[in-house]
């Protein structure tokens, strides 16, 4: 997919995400990241096959039980590359999303949920770490169903295997349909990554 880079939308997307604008993640890209070759090949392949992935709405599910294995860093690298290519992205942790959505729903607004449903690429960090209330599970199902139907790719990171997520069966099944699991080594790379 050919897109032109737009500094204004790039800056806007960056500022919407506390994760992406973090100095920790700003310094990494495909060239200077030290991660296992299998993971790097999948990342490069995903970006190289954007036309297919976007046409089918295929996302990625970065998984490892071990914190610090590079899941969030790798997700941010892909998002930054997509932003450079002109795609609109939104990225946040599930905990942050829950807090923001709760505030909006209390004031009878739904602008964040609508933005998340319709943004070209959505990324949700650290799913499975948050206990799912009935309300949050319903919102999550609505979000996943919309993105599935509209074939919009969604990226996830988690320390929990997809089958063990504290979501409804329908939400877990939908996750399997819209994302390809990328298994990370059960090893922390934080010290390695921070020395770059």
Residue 91 exposed, middle or buried by CB count within 10 Å (0-12, 13-18, 19+): buried
Q: How many CA atoms lie within 13 A of 117 on its CB side?
A: 15
In angstroms, the CA 91 to CA 78 distance is 11
What's the mean pLDDT in 35-50? 85
- pTM here is 0.85
Of the listed ranges 11-20, 73-82, 132-141, the one predicted with least confidence = 11-20
In angstroms, the CA 12 to CA 135 distance is 29
DSSP 159-179: SS-GGG-SS-HHHHHHHHHHE
Residue 2 has pLDDT above 60, yes or no: no
Residue 8 has pLDDT above 70, yes or no: no
Which pLDDT band, with edges at 50, 70 and 90, does 195 fall under?
A: very low
Contacts of 98 (CB under 8 A, 6+ apart): 130, 136
Residue appearing with tokens 């997307």 = 13
pLDDT of residue 131: 78
List the one residue out of 112, 104, 114, 159 whose CA is nearest residue 17.
Answer: 112
pLDDT of residue 196: 44
Highest mean pLDDT among 2-6, 21-25, 34-38: 34-38
Residue appearing with tokens 């997509």 = 82
Residue 136 has pLDDT above 90, yes or no: no
Break the chain into its structural domains and give their ranges. Answer: 7-194
Average pLDDT over all residues of the chain: 83
Query: Which residues make beta-bridge pairs with 123?
Result: 91, 155
Which pLDDT band, with edges at 50, 70 and 90, does 192 fall under?
A: low
In angstroms, the CA 155 to CA 78 distance is 9
Q: What is the pLDDT of residues 90-114, one digit of tens each?
A: 999 998 888 888 887 777 677 888 8
Q: Which CATH class is domain 7-194?
A: alpha beta
Angle between helices 94-106 and 134-149 (to 10 degrees): 100
Residue 86 has pLDDT above 60, yes or no: yes
The b/e string for 137-146 (b: 16+ C-beta within 10 A; e otherwise) is: eebbeebbee
pLDDT of residue 38: 83
In angstroms, the CA 75 to CA 73 distance is 5
């Amino acid at each position: 997919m050919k897109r032109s880079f737009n500094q204004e939308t790039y800056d806007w997307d960056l500022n919407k995400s506390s994760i992406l604008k973090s100095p920790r993640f700003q310094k990494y890209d495909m060239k200077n990241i030290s991660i296992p070759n299998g993971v790097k090949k999948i990342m490069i392949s995903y970006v190289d096959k954007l036309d297919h992935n976007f046409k089918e709405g295929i996302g990625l599910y970065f998984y490892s039980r071990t914190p610090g294995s590079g899941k969030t860093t790798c997700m941010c690298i892909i998002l930054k590359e997509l932003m450079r290519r002109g795609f609109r992205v939104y990225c946040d942790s599930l905990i942050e999303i829950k807090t923001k959505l709760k505030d909006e729903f209390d004031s009878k607004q739904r602008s964040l949920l609508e933005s998340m449903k319709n943004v070209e690429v959505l990324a949700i960090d650290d799913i499975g770490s948050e206990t799912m209330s009935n309300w949050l599970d319903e919102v999550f199902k609505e979000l996943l169903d919309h993105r599935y139907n509209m074939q919009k790719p969604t990226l996830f990171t988690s320390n929990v295997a997809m089958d063990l997520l504290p979501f409804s069966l329908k939400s877990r099944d939908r996750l399997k349909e819209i994302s390809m699991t990328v298994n990370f080594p059960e090893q922390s790379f934080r010290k390695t990554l921070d020395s770059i």
